[in-house]
Structure 1
Amino acid sequence: MTETNPLRVADLPQNAPTPFELRPGTTELERLKRDLDLLGLRKLSFVGNVRTQGKRDWVLNAKLGATVTQPCVVTLEPVTTRIETPVHRVFLAEWDEPDEPEFEMPEDDDTEALGPYIDLATVMAEALSLALPQYPRKEDAALGQSSFTEPGKQVMSDEEVKPFAGLASLRDALKKDE
């Protein structure tokens, strides 16, 4: 099991997978916590292997585990989440960079250009960033109703703002007239 990072592609064996295990220390955890705007980050591990695919391409398969603490989107109180997710990347020697200034990326795209090194820490940080809950919320957190209007005017309710609320009352009035 290697803890060397980054992995130099030229030194990787062609006939056997290269296992790895990353468990960042306190300094690296603090840097990642700051970079990802987390309140807390602990128990981060990235375990897997890198193996050849064909003659020149490489595949990384790993498992990412972490315990993260983020602010609740409603109350800003800390929300702790355990993340356990598989990570799969394919590093291609023949990588074609898109020519267009704007192009659509497939949602499940896991391929990237193969360079002289495979930086496990970068792959780990990207995978963690993608696995974070986008809207962390405490179980009992609920949004209250907010009312805004000009002074001296009546506040509109959510029902009055709905586009078809007036049509329903018009329909009911027309039914009475029939």
Structure 2
Amino acid sequence: MTEPLPFTHPMRVAELAGRKPTRFRIAPGAKDRAAIAAALGVTELDQLRFEGDLTPLGRQDWRLTARLSARVVQPCIVTLAPVTTEIAETVTRRYLADLPEPEGEEIEIPEDDSIEALPATIDLGAVLTEALALSLPLYPRAEGAEMGSASFAEPGAEPLGEEVTRPFAGLADLMKKRDPKG
């Protein structure tokens, strides 16, 4: 069972103008931004805007082109200090009415990852949330934060250092033993 989306903004395809673009501008309120932030695991979502258009392509297909802009606050992976990131992304999706269903146990993922099957309702809130999730920094780092090194060993044992764990660390010693001249 899938979890409910934190924010939805459905657009029924049957109600869209068939010959001209349908423009949209979505700026979720504080409550919706808080729900999206909680779903994505970010501390704050100060600003969020998603604007663009749905344009008909031929008789049945549609193209979504939009601009996502946001300001998110995430904890630093090193210090847990708040890290603010400005996000500005272009989002493109193509919805095809006659997209063939994949067959078989193993399927090949197409190169164009913007193509989707045309649903009866295009949920702009779901597209917004997905695009934001993909745009978030995976490892936010506060300015000046550095990962230190850690050494672990059993009591009384010497921790393994970087020199010992390198794959060719002992190769020079082996070569000296093998070469009679030293």
Over 3 Å counting, the alpha-carbon distance change for 1:115 and 1:76 in structure 2 is: same
Please say which of residues 125-134 and 136-145 is displaced more in the overlay: 136-145
State the partner residue of 1:142. 146
Amino acid at match of 1:36: L
Over 3 Å counting, the alpha-carbon distance change for 1:73 and 1:106 in structure 2 is: farther
Structure 1: how far apart are the matches of 2:64 and 2:179?
Answer: 67
Q: What does the per-residue CA deviation read over 1:40-61, in whole Å, with 9 as the maximum and x for residues that have no partner? A: 1021000000010111000000
Q: How does 1:18-29 map to 2 (within 5 A)?
A: 18-29=22-33
Runs of 4 or more off by more than 4 Å in structure 1? 172-176
Please say which of residues 78-87 and 146-155 is displaced more in the overlay: 146-155
How far residue 5 of structure 1 moved from its aligned partner, in angstroms, is 3.4
Over 3 Å counting, the alpha-carbon distance change for 1:56 and 1:34 in structure 2 is: same
Q: 1:64 aligns with which of 68, 87, 96?
A: 68
Please say which of residues 123-132 and 137-146 is displaced more in the overlay: 137-146
Structure 2: how far apart are the matches of 1:80 and 1:103?
Answer: 39
Structure 2: how far apart are the matches of 1:136 and 1:105?
Answer: 29
Please say which of residues 104-113 and 115-124 is displaced more in the overlay: 104-113
Is the partner of 2:170 in helix, strand or coil? Answer: helix
How far residue 174 of structure 1 moved from its aligned partner, in angstroms, is 5.8
Q: Does 1:109 align with 2:109?
A: no
Structure 2: how far apart are the matches of 1:111 and 1:66?
Answer: 24
Structure 2: how far apart are the matches of 1:39 and 1:142?
Answer: 21
> Could you list the runs of 5+ residues in structure 2 that have no partner in the other structure?
1-7
Structure 2: how far apart are the matches of 1:82 and 1:107?
Answer: 28
Structure 1: how far apart are the matches of 2:78 and 2:172?
Answer: 33
State the superposition RMSD in angstroms.
1.9
Structure 2: how far apart are the matches of 1:85 and 1:6?
Answer: 21
Is the partner of 1:169 in helix, strand or coil? Answer: helix
Q: Does 1:118 align with 2:109?
A: no
How far residue 155 of structure 1 moved from its aligned partner, in angstroms, is 1.7
How far residue 154 of structure 1 moved from its aligned partner, in angstroms, is 1.4
Q: Number of residue pairs matched?
A: 175
Q: Does 1:86 align with 2:90?
A: yes
| Identity between Structure 1 and Structure 2 (%) | 45
How far residue 7 of structure 1 moved from its aligned partner, in angstroms, is 1.4
How far residue 169 of structure 1 moved from its aligned partner, in angstroms, is 3.4
State the partner residue of 1:54. 58
How far residue 74 of structure 1 moved from its aligned partner, in angstroms, is 1.7
State the partner residue of 1:12. 16
Structure 2: how far apart are the matches of 1:41 and 1:73?
Answer: 18
State the partner residue of 2:43. 39
State the partner residue of 1:163. 167
Is the partner of 1:123 in helix, strand or coil? Answer: helix
